Amino acid sequence: MSTYIVRRLLLMIPTLLGITVMVFAISRIAPGDPVSLSMGPGGQMDAERAADVREARMRLYGLDKPVHVQYGIWLRRVAQLDFGDSIKHHRPVIELIKERLPITLTLNIIAFVIIYAVSLPLGVLTAVRHRRFFDRASSVVLFMLWSLPVMWVGQMLIGYFCGPAFKQWFPPAGLNSNYADQLPFFPWLVDRLWHLVLPVLCLTYAGFAYLTKLVRAGMLDNLRSDYVRTARAKGLSNWAVIFKHAFRNSIIPVITIMATLLPAMLGGSVIIERIFSIPGMGWLAFEAVTTRDYNVVMAVATIGGVLNLLGLLFGDIAYAIVDPRISFESAV
């Protein structure tokens, strides 16, 4: 088992290098650079001085060197876990990410728990009621939820529940009300949760369909199999057959998918964080991309890539641990 994990970890290195090379190349090949973007069309300065300032700032950020040299410098710094400074915020990128990552993680983990809490029972129920009214109706509803564009849902929720158009139930933006820091802990928590209701709703509704379908398919396969028939023939109760026999076996893919879903959700919340003005990772990525903040772009891509690869690895390990039929020797 340990040889397998070491092998996989070693294979991650070239993949990770590939990711950084690709994102680095994209950002440097594209026309334009952060300096000219932040300086704008020139303003009051005469052309010669503007060119001087430009050159000095290019040198400051190390953008005057050839691309491959820049990449080498970047790589050496990253090997020491230093992602450089943000050009826009004039602060270390690592600090920015330390601020933003917990926000996005909280949001996603809450959404994650809700998705699992709804989808597992729903999947079992639809499988038990296979091809009956409940099964068909819920699959249509989930399918519609899955197809709902998230920016539309977010905007409608803000429009109708956060403003004078209909009801002003929820705050439209941010994570806390003004001056929330002065509140004691419990009211502060309530305030925070109140702000999280709509974003979490937007993050969850699309996930139900996928997971429910997975649980349902697994349950259907298991309910048709011989050992379930045997269990029924032994005279076990319906409840015991479903939950003690079929459910336990059909939960295998559901567990393994958990590891791969979480990193995917980290990157996918750009739109939601934009709509609800939540200063998380998605917002940071969006900001970095629009202002050409190279160091932040690279850091987000690298960290996202590492999380994704680790997620895949954990998924495979979990798969082998949960299901004894799968061995590491064959699964390479």
Give the footprint of another protein on this chain (CB under 8 A): 11, 14-16, 18-19, 22-23, 26-27, 30-32, 143-144, 146-152, 155-156, 158-160, 163, 165, 263-264, 266-268, 270-271, 274, 285-286, 289-290, 292, 297, 300-301, 304-305, 308-309, 312
Does residue 50 sit in helix, strand or coil? Answer: helix
The minimum distance between CB 312 and another protein, in angstroms, equals: 8
Nearer to another protein, 6 or 51 (CB): 6
Cα gap 196→279, rounded to integer Å:
12
Q: Which amino acid is at 159?
A: G
Which residues are within 8 A (CB) of 281 and not within 5 positions of it... i.e. 6 or more apart?
Answer: 97, 100, 101, 103, 104, 266, 267, 269, 273, 300
Sign of the Cα pseudo-torsion (45, 48, 52, 57, in order) = positive
The minimum distance between CB 156 and another protein, in angstroms, equals: 6
The minimum distance between CB 246 and another protein, in angstroms, equals: 19
Cα gap 74→195, rounded to integer Å:
38
Phi, psi (deg, nearest 5) at residue 62: 75, 25
The minimum distance between CB 226 and another protein, in angstroms, equals: 17
Name the one residue in this structure whose structure tokens are 């479903």.
242
The minimum distance between CB 26 and another protein, in angstroms, equals: 6
> DSSP for 24-92?
HHHHHHSS--HHHHHHTT-TTS-HHHHHHHHHHHHHHTTTTS-HHHHHHHHHHHHHTT---B-TTT-SB
Name the one residue in this structure whose structure tokens are 């699964």.
331
Nearer to another protein, 155 or 237 (CB): 155
The minimum distance between CB 271 and another protein, in angstroms, equals: 6
Nearer to another protein, 17 or 240 (CB): 17
Q: Which of 100, 67, 97 is nearest to 82 (CA)?
A: 97
Does residue 91 sit in helix, strand or coil? Answer: coil
Nearer to another protein, 215 or 266 (CB): 266
Nearer to another protein, 196 or 275 (CB): 275
Nearer to another protein, 236 or 289 (CB): 289
Residues counted in the chain: 332
Phi, psi (deg, nearest 5) at residue 249: -80, -30
Nearer to another protein, 58 or 271 (CB): 271
The minimum distance between CB 263 and another protein, in angstroms, equals: 8
